[in-house]
Amino acid sequence: MDRDDGEDLWVGDLLRYRLPTGVVVLADPRGTLVHGTGSGLWASGQILSRYLGGMPELCRDALCLEVGAGTGAVGLTVAACGARLVVLTDLEQQMPLLRRNVEENCPAGDRVRTLPLDWRMPEQRGALATWSRQWTLVVGSDVGYDPDLLPPLL
């Protein structure tokens, strides 16, 4: 795990990725911690992370919400680029992997938070109400894979 050459490495049953910003995320392709779409690092998340990492001025001092965070790669990249606050959201079942990645990258946890969110559930969307008009950056990658999920998100 000390290698810094950008290669992917297995850490037990988890696959380790080092992103260009230095963020390290673990994915769970074998479904050891979590199951579902949020267990992998998809190409769209890698591309968005690379884009945002190359444009840190978009992230600096941002109040950022990431929907469908999965591994948290995109939101953790925003945090690494100087965001004031990043809230990473996903389904409750994805939280173990997401929280582990936050702990690995932000041990103090003061600027990055996790929050279970199934945006189909109005009561869970309500948990974000205190911030709803404050977000300066909202990100999500590969959240439109199921057309039925889009109306409640929008």
Please give the Cα distance from 47 to 60 (Å, whole number): 19
pLDDT in tens, 110-147: 899 999 999 888 888 887 777 777 999 999 998 877 88
How does the average pLDDT of the chain come out, rounded?
A: 88
Better-scored residue on pLDDT, 147 or 59 = 59
Q: Which domains occur in the chain, in start order?
A: 9-140 (3.40.50.150)
* Coil, strand or helix at 63: strand
> What was the pLDDT predicted at 56?
96
